[in-house]
Amino acid sequence: GENVEQHPSTLSVQEGDSAVIKCTYSDSASNYFPWYKQELGKRPQLIIDIRSNVGEKKDQRIAVTLNKTAKHFSLHITETQPEDSAVYFCAASIKAAGNKLTFGGGTRVLVKP
């Protein structure tokens, strides 16, 4: 089955700096790659996603890139703010498996004011 690896597991940045989280996946049939943000004690919430026919997608301070050949994708957060502090999860899904998501292990991001 699909395996998703995520790095780093923790990331501390100064407010205003950028944060980058990287994920790799194992199954070349994966075609959908969402990113979820989870605040302490809360539900995971979708912040951005990218499909396999696109290489890059941007939404204000958040961007995601996908390299299908290398089977990796990354989340970029620019001009970080304290409210960006949370755990971020990448995920991948395969069309043939319905919408089942396989998640990475998560990255705890701390933005220091």
Partner 1 sequence: NAGVMQNPRHLVRRRGQEARLRCSPVKGHSHVYWYRQLPEEGLKFMVYLQKENIIDESGMPKERFSAEFPKEGPSILRIQQVVRGDSAAYFCASSPPTTGANVLTFGAGSRLTVL
Report the alpha-carbon angle 61-64-15, nearest 5: 35
Residue 5, Cα to own-chain centre: how many angstroms?
Answer: 11
Cα–Cα distance, 32 to 82 (Å, whole number): 29
98 binds partner 1 (CB under 8 A): yes
Member of 11, 32, 57, 110 binding partner 1 (CB under 8 A): 32
User: Per CB under 8 A, does 80 bind partner 1?
Assistant: no
**Smaller CB separation from partner 1, 27 or 49:** 49
Q: What one-letter code names the amino acid at 66? A: L
What gap in Å lies between CA 112 and CA 82, rounded to an integer?
A: 7
Q: Which is nearer to partner 1, 14 or 99 (CB)?
A: 99
Residue ranges that bind partner 1, judged by CB under 8 A: 1, 31-32, 34, 36, 42-46, 49, 51, 89, 93, 95, 97-106
